[in-house]
Amino acid sequence: MRRAIFPGSFDPLTLGHYDIIKRGVTLFDEVIVAIGVNADKKYMFSLEERKQFIEEAFTDEPRIKVVIYKGLTVDFCKEIDVEFILRGLRNPADFEFEKAIAHTNRDLAPIETVFLLTSAKTSYIASSIVRDVIRNNGDYTKLVPKSVRHK
């Protein structure tokens, strides 16, 4: 069974994330959306809210699981026996950053990183932008799935 982990903070889940997950599940038998815990980071949404956003968005897709993890992503991959990390790329800066992480991960464990380009209609969306729009009472509903719209 081909399983991939799609790690991130998902603060909040965006349409860009949603697109990568939906396309990823066509390539893998199972996509595990893994919410990483970083004690040094301040989040807008609680861990429970972020998990709920993702579970609600994919309630009709049994091949998409949502989990929470701490520590290195590659260590978590080994722990749950996953050989692939799925990542989305929006722009060249994302590629350079993600390439360095992928090389490091491959040095640490036999894990392959699979990159998907974001769709043109979601390539500008970032969680940080969504949080800024929300903080300033803007219309964020065009940037996130329905599960996040009732925040």
Domain edges within the chain: 3-149
Query: Could you tell me what percentage of the chain is helix, strand and coil, using 3-state DSSP and rounding each to the nearest 5?
Result: 40, 20, 40
90 is an annotated ligand-binding site residue: yes
**What pLDDT is recorded for position 99?**
94
CATH number for the segment(s) 3-149:
3.40.50.620
Q: Which residues are CB-contacts of 62 (< 8 A; sequence separation ≥ 6)? A: none
- Taking the model in full, what pTM does it have? 0.93
Active site residue 46: no
Residue 52 is encoded by which pair of tokens? 């709920």
What is the DSSP-derived secondary structure letter of residue 111?
A: -
Q: Is 8 annotated as a binding residue?
A: no
> Are the beta carbons of 57 and 23 closer than 8 angstroms?
no
Is residue 41 annotated as a catalytic residue, yes or no?
A: yes
Which one of 63, 90, 106, 131 is the catalytic residue? 90
d(CA 26, CA 2): 11
Q: What does R_g of the chain's alpha carbons equal in angstroms?
A: 15
* d(C-alpha 19, C-alpha 88), whole Å: 9
Q: What is the DSSP-derived secondary structure letter of residue 144? A: S
Question: According to the annotation, is 46 in a ligand binding site?
Answer: no
Q: Annotated binding residue at 10?
A: yes
Tokens matching residue 150: 């009732």
Catalytic residue chosen out of the listed positions 3, 50, 127, 147: 127
Q: What is the pLDDT along the chain (151 residues), one digit of tens a residue?
A: 999 999 999 999 999 999 999 999 999 999 999 999 987 889 999 999 999 999 999 999 999 999 999 999 999 999 999 999 999 999 888 899 999 999 999 999 999 999 999 999 999 999 999 999 999 999 999 999 999 987 5
Which of 55, 109, 105 has its CA nearest to residue 81?
A: 109
